[in-house]
Structure 1
Amino acid sequence: MSRGFTDRLATREDLPALHALMEASIDRLQSEFLDPAQVAASHEVMGLDRQLIDDGTYICLFDGEMLVGCGGWSGRKTLFGGDHSLAQRAPERLDPSTEAARIRAMYTHPDHVRRGVGQAILDLAERAAKAAGFRRAELMSTLAGEPFYARAGYREVERSGHRGSNGSFVPLILMEKPLS
């Protein structure tokens, strides 16, 4: 892997480190785009779906021994959300010939942004989805992620959002890209 990063598939033993990275990423990186109430509400829908680990599609990226990023892809219908927000989980398998792979749960440690972490994970996830026969990928982006995904070739499909239990609205953007 370039830039000195190493990668491997996540295991359940990684859960404490993954959760800590995600908490820091949500709190610090979303705060550039959302007010504190919206950041709090975003925790309700963001996080890790352990199904990704169980499916072998979730990646940990390291700089030396430090976990600096994580993310993955899925061949299941669930588009986004963590274990705590998946009451409506859709575990059915997607048809690679007609449906888009899901890019899921992409997080970069706040101290390692703009160093190629997100791009490295996205490249690995897209290549794996393509190898599994998918021709397209889609994802649900936050406002913070939207510029990154647009630079990576994703285009906006529609805007929606999540109304948090505190009443705050968290904007979300459905984006897609052909896997060529």
Structure 2
Amino acid sequence: MGVDVAIEVAGVEDRDALESLIGRCYAEVYPGWYEPDILENALPAMLRIDTRLLESGRYFKALSDGRIVGCGGWSHATPGTGDRVAATGHVRHFATEPGQMRTGVGSAILARCVEDAMEAGMTRLQCFSSLPAEAFYERHGFDRVQEVTVMLGESTPFPAILMQRVLV
């Protein structure tokens, strides 16, 4: 069952609503995939959206009946390091309202990100997928590159999967 959504550019003024949505989504999805102590330490850092991402015009919100039901975006800079690799973009901070999961919200946002990245000259997208999101990215043409540990802050290791999609 699909939901009708409009994808719009999100901005700094949406921060509170977006971070609240991310918190609800991750609280629903991550238990059972990650140990409670990992979540306790990692979630606070994962819920904050980088202001530069919100100001970039590359972070999107999905609206259904005027409510934000999903979010996600992409950047040229690698999350955490800020490094840039020629023609490589990075998918960032995806979340869907728990009651709207598996209705096409995330797919619609990802399609917008792919289109936007291609228009900006990117030839590949990468992401640090959480363990439960791997199947979502695989369904959308991403391949597993390797298991990685993403450091959140200076002392919180978070198991993830580096995934990549070649854009054509």
- Asked if TM exceeds 0.5, the reply is yes
1:37 — aligned with what? 37
1:27 — aligned with what? 27
1:101 — aligned with what? 89
Q: Which amino acid aligns with 1:55?
A: S
Q: In structure 2, do the counterparts of structure 1 residues 118 and 32 end up closer, same or farther at CA, with 3 Å as the change threshold? A: farther
| Cα distance, 1:95 vs structure 2 | 2.6
Pairing 1:10-159 to 2, within 5 Å after superposition: 10-47=10-47, 48-76=49-77, 78-79=78-79, 89-90=81-82, 93-96=84-87, 100-159=88-147
1:83 — aligned with what? none
Structure 1: state its 5+ residue gaps. Answer: 80-85
Q: In structure 2, do the counterparts of structure 1 residues 164 and 50 end up closer, same or farther at CA, with 3 Å as the change threshold? A: closer
Of 152, 160, 168 in structure 2, the residue corresponding to residue 172 of structure 1 is 160
Q: In structure 2, do the counterparts of structure 1 residues 142 and 153 end up closer, same or farther at CA, with 3 Å as the change threshold? A: same
CA RMSD of aligned residues (A): 2.2
CA contact (8 A) 1:9 1:59 kept: yes
CA contact (8 A) 1:6 1:64 kept: no
Q: In structure 2, do the counterparts of structure 1 residues 163 and 123 end up closer, same or farther at CA, with 3 Å as the change threshold? A: closer
CA displacement 1:69-119 (0-9 Å, x = unmatched): 00011122x23xxxxxx5xx41x55432xxx11111111111111001111
Distance 2:151 2:57 in 1: 31
Q: In structure 2, do the counterparts of structure 1 residues 72 and 168 end up closer, same or farther at CA, with 3 Å as the change threshold? A: closer
| Cα distance, 1:170 vs structure 2 | 3.0
| Cα distance, 1:4 vs structure 2 | 1.6
| Cα distance, 1:38 vs structure 2 | 2.3
CA displacement 1:132-171 (0-9 Å, x = unmatched): 1111110100001111001111111111224779x98531
Report SS of the residue matched to 1:53: helix
Distance 2:167 2:7 in 1: 21
The more displaced of 67-76 and 36-45 is 36-45
Report SS of the residue matched to 1:61: strand
| Cα distance, 1:45 vs structure 2 | 4.4
Q: Which amino acid aligns with 1:56?
A: G
Distance 2:114 2:158 in 1: 26
Q: Which amino acid aligns with 2:86?
A: D
Q: TM-score, normalised by structure 2?
A: 0.88
Distance 2:41 2:144 in 1: 23
